[in-house]
Amino acid sequence: MALPTAAELDILAVLWRLGTATVREVHDALGKDNGYTTTLKQMQLMTEKGLLIRGERFGSHVYDASVPKEQTQQQIAGDLLKRAFGGSARSLVMGALAAQPASRDELDEIRGMLDAFVKEKSAEEKGAKEKGGSS
């Protein structure tokens, strides 16, 4: 699936926050100067692209994001990592921290997440070696 554009990401962010919503609800939450019909058309195109799922609620069309927020964020980060940072996770992280400094609490949380990630990767590698060695 193609990565969402900036305008599509704005709509997805509203739907991730609100959950299932009508075009009017999304349009109002966006708070932009563009017209309602622009939001409607954008959401119709997003449905065709597979970014949104359209349903019905009390006779009104409602929309949901077709992909969870975390999955979309991973796709965007992976694309950015390859295209802008030459595949260097270190450069991506340092670039992100330079652009938007983190508080001490956020840095502590990031350290904890990295520690958990390393543990998980080590366990996966150990399991793969044991699985491969027992064949």
Query: For the structural domain made of 1-87, what CATH number should be given?
Result: 1.10.10.10
* DSSP H stretches of helix in the chain: 6-18, 23-30, 36-49, 69-85, 89-99, 104-133
Lowest mean pLDDT of 28-37, 70-79, 86-95, 123-132, name the range.
123-132
pLDDT tens digit sequence for 83-122: 999 999 999 999 999 999 999 999 999 999 999 999 998 8
Q: How far apart are CA 38 and CA 45, in angstroms?
A: 11
> In this structure, which long-range contacts are made by residues 31-38, counting pairs with CB atoms below 8 Å and at least 24 apart in sequence?
none
Domain chopping of the chain, boundaries: 1-87
Contact 81, 92 (CB under 8 A): yes
Instruction: Report d(CA 66, CA 103) in Å as an integer.
Output: 33
